[in-house]
Amino acid sequence: MKIKAATVREPGKLAVEELNLGEPGIGEVLVKLVASGVCHTDASVMNLKAPTEFPIVLGHEGVGIVEKIGEGVTTLKPGDHVIMSFPSCGHCANCSDGHPYACDQSVPLFFFGVYGDGSKRITDNDGKAIGSLFGQGAFADHCIVAERTAVKVDPELDLKPLCSLGCGVQTGAGAVLLRMQPKPGDTIAIFGCGAVGISAIMAAKLAGCGTIIAIDVVPSRLELAVECGATHVINGRECEDVTAEIRRITNGRGVKFALEAAGVAALITTMLESMENNGLAIMVSMAGGSVNMDVTRLFVGPCVTFAGLVEGGANPRTFIPKLVEYYKKGQLPVDKLCTYYSFDDIDKAFEDSHNGTAIKPVVVF
Ligand code: CXF
Ligand code: ZN
């Protein structure tokens, strides 16, 4: 079928093109997109700050309605409303063990535009194969996705605000609820109040954290952080010593948990120096770059666990339904993050994501 899709053929250039989408293969479904969120990873791929292969259709926070199912699909049917998430092979040791976020095939499936069998689903009018980012390619009117990558949701819900449950919200909320698992009263610091950071703040509130410290450089984001559960804020541009301020707020102890969601490598050092003894610090953003620190500081004085975590350590098929339940109860008000754009305005959506005007730009089809 003919589709319109936002495609990158050379670094930094996104163009909506008419392309040809094939049929859903074994274990795959065809989805008519309702909306798709812009995530910083889309821009990283577009600007070659992540490994990839052009041409590729961007978009990996798609929500839509199943139009057709491929052979062997048993859990979805035409008409089902779905949130699409990250792909995984389903066969490797981590997938078999319930940890698809650590799939052995993550790099090709996330970034190189291929599906589980190694092939692509889109061609251009010259017959050239075009990739689909994260096995979605969701900046398009239709896309093909693996059944295991799509999560069915209540058709009564407006799908549009739910798109980032597939990536950004899952990443922030998962890091807190699945990996950190804070107890009521615990302390946490969140570096970066974009969609991932704010979702982590909402999750920290949900878990009953007593001290939730939000760090950002944009006052409006810090205000939103407070609205979503932060008990303290630090403006990193105005504060001379963020670590000292975190220690002051926590009576000298430092925080038990911290999340780096700002995409700034230098903040890793600040985060690690702000931890309490036996604390857990997690990095989830594509910060890039390197840090220079004396690694002895990770275990002499406070001993700190530092982890990189993809997609919140989630299994989307079990975690996204939980996130939807929290959303329905008003405990995960993700609609506060969204600004909506028409497909014609996709460049503006990327621009506003880049300059921070919009926290979660959502392209509506
Ligand atoms: C990405 C973040 C960097 C590692 C791969 C997954 N998540 C979503 O965009
Ligand atoms: Zn993403």
Q: Hunting for tokens 């944009």 — which residue is that?
A: 218
- Pocket of ligand 1 contains residue 41 by CB under 6 Å: yes
pLDDT digit string, tens, across residues 323-351:
999 999 999 999 999 999 999 999 999 99
Paired strand residues for 29: 69, 145
What is the signed CA dihedral for 83, 223, 356, 206, rounded to 10 degrees? Answer: -20
Query: Taking a C-beta distance cutoff of 8 angstroms, is the pair 359, 194 a contact?
Result: yes
**Which residue minimizes the CA distance to atom 3 of ligand 1?**
286
What is the per-residue pLDDT across 5-53, written as a single tens digit (0 to 9) for each?
999 999 999 999 999 999 999 999 999 999 999 999 999 999 999 999 9
Position 295 scores a pLDDT of: 84
pLDDT above 70 as % of the chain: 100
- Cβ-contact 4, 141 below 8 angstroms: yes
- What is the band of 281 on the pLDDT scale with cuts at 50, 70, 90? very high
Q: How far is the CA of 137 from the centre of ligand 1 (A)?
A: 15
Pairing of strands 304-308, 142-146: unpaired
Measure 134 CA to ligand 1 centroid, in angstroms. Answer: 10
pLDDT at 287 over 80: no
Classified by CATH at the fold level, domain 169-310 comes out as Rossmann fold (3.40.50)
pLDDT at 120 over 80: yes
State in Å: Cα 314 to ligand 1 middle. Answer: 12
Query: At residue 194, does pLDDT exceed 90?
Result: yes
Residue 190 in contact with ligand 1 by CB distance below 6 A: no
Cβ atoms of residues 263 and 171 within 8 Å: no
Domain ranges in the chain?
A: 2-156+333-364, 169-310
Query: Which homologous superfamily does the CATH classification assign to the domain defined by 2-156+333-364?
Result: Medium-chain alcohol dehydrogenases, catalytic domain (3.90.180.10)
**What does R_g of the chain's alpha carbons equal in angstroms?**
20
2-156+333-364 and 169-310: same fold?
A: no
pTM higher than the cut 0.85: yes
